[in-house]
Chain A
Amino acid sequence: MSIQTVLDTVSVLAFIGSGFFFVAGSVGLVRFPDVFTRLHALTKADNLGLGLLVVGLALRSGSWTAAAKLFVVWLLIVFTGATACHLVASAARKKGIQPWVRETS
């Protein structure tokens, strides 16, 4: 098995994993009950889904500089996602939105 085959296989697995996290995040965004849980679903998709996508693309890019650029893109998105999530959540708290709790009978 050549090294190229190994790289290809790993990158395809990374793409599949990334797809899973994006789909799960989108489903969570639609299905979850309130703004806080939705943010939780969304940021997982951004961090892990995009992270795995970047890993897969970096393995296929064939150059260190391209891989480094992809990594920086991911890092910026992670910073932005975390900050935006925090801002939305704190704005919701300030507005008086109560976190959802499971109703117990």
Chain B
Amino acid sequence: MMLVFDIILMGVIVWIALGSLSPRGVYKSVVMFVVFGLFMALGWVRLGAPDVALAEAAIGAGVTGVILLDAAGHLRQRTPGPILERHVRRGVAPLPLLASVIVFFVLALLVVNLPAEADGLAPLMTAGAEDSGIKNVVTAVLLDFRGYDTLLEIAVLMLATVAVFSLRDAPDILGRRLAGFAGPLLDSFTRIVTPFMLVIAGHLVWIGSSEPGGAFQAGAVLGAAGILLALSGFASPRWAGRRVVRLSLTMGLLVFIAIALYPLFLGGTLLQYPDETRKTLILAMETWLTLSIGASLVSLFIASASPGPDGGVA
């Protein structure tokens, strides 16, 4: 029964992926991309990875979808008439197609040649996770065993935000009004939902050490709350330029680096946390990372959002 479901799911994912590539217009592609993210999230749940599913749904489908939709609206505004003819070349580009086919076959070869019955690193992870007091293996991998990757990821996210900021004229970002949608219903909706979102973000950070959740998922919820506030006119875009936001943007990386360096003073190596304080350090790091990720998602959105005809978002 579940096998049938899985096969249908896989088919649907490939079908939607193809749909998002088909040249029926930028707007349709973006919508298909969002739907693709949601089905991928379902796929991750079926693979037993609810952490990844949460991140995929919140960041892949949600926040990226909002940014892409906004970009599509921006394109339509700049160039009236069908977007397709202007921005999308018809037909298949041979070189990218060749590259994709080669990558596909290399990956397929690797998967086929994997040893059939090997535990891989799983036993090591589980044992290590028990030692560290971080019961959620995904969190342990992200922030402990493979701390380097996450550190660099956060650095990339911060640099991306800085780059988007610097591509825009500062007065342009800060003087703009985003409240294109304000109305009584959206107002009361925002009032009801935002506190919920903040509580959920806090909850996701806190349970991240033992259950699915963590800084990325919590940061995405926090970022979505900020985008909602900006779109419904509660938070002025000026807010993105405030020192508090810039500080929270950088604090995640700074705290991460500080905590990564801390073991060096104890005579250990980089990112080699001492066992007794490991859980506290990781929780502190996750909290600051959440704030940073949330702040950078909001800043990315506000800085790249296109102003509508009346100064609101299109």
Contacts and interface: CB of A to CB of B under 8 A. Distances in A.
Interface in A46-97: 76, 79-80, 82-83, 86-87, 90-91
Contacts of A90: 183
Interface string B155-195: 00000000000000000000000000101011001001100
B189 A83 contact: yes
A79 B189 contact: yes
A79 B181 contact: no
A80 B193 contact: yes
Interface in B87-108: none
Interface of B: 181, 183, 185-186, 189, 192-193, 196
Name which of A80, A82, A83, A90 has the most chain B CB atoms within 10 A of its CB. A83
B193 A87 contact: no
Given A87-B181, A90-B183, A76 B189 contact: no
B30 to A, nearest CB: 16
Contacts, number: 20
Nearest to B185: A86
A79 B191 CA distance: 11
Name which of B181, B183, B189, B192 has the most chain A CB atoms within 10 A of its CB. B189
Contacts of B192: 79
A86 B188 CA distance: 13
Contacts of B186: 83, 86-87
B193 A79 contact: yes
Q: Is the interface of B mostly helix, strand, loop or mixed?
A: helix
Nearest to B189: A83
Contacts of B183: 86-87, 90
A65 B234 CA distance: 33
A68 B192 CA distance: 18
Nearest to B200: A76
A95 to B, nearest CB: 11
Given A83-B189, A87-B181, 11 more contacts: A79-B192, A80-B189, A80-B193, A83-B185, A83-B186, A86-B185, A87-B183, A87-B185, A87-B186, A90-B183, A91-B181
Nearest to B188: A83
Nearest to B231: A87
B193 A76 contact: yes
Contacts of B189: 79-80, 83
- Which 8 A-B pairs give the minimum distances between C-beta atoms? A83-B189, A86-B185, A83-B185, A79-B189, A87-B181, A83-B186, A79-B192, A79-B193
Nearest to A91: B181
A76 B196 contact: yes
A11 B237 CA distance: 48
Contacts of B193: 76, 79-80
Nearest to A72: B196
15 contacts: A76-B193, A76-B196, A79-B192, A79-B193, A80-B189, A80-B193, A82-B185, A83-B185, A83-B186, A86-B185, A86-B186, A87-B181, A87-B183, A87-B185, A90-B183
A55 B96 CA distance: 49
B312 to A, nearest CB: 11
A17 B164 CA distance: 48
Contacts of B185: 82-83, 86-87
A88 to B, nearest CB: 11
A80 B185 CA distance: 11
A82 B188 CA distance: 12
B230 to A, nearest CB: 15
A86 B181 CA distance: 11
A50 to B, nearest CB: 15
Contacts of A86: 183, 185-186
B128 to A, nearest CB: 31
A98 B163 CA distance: 43
B68 to A, nearest CB: 18
Nearest to B187: A83
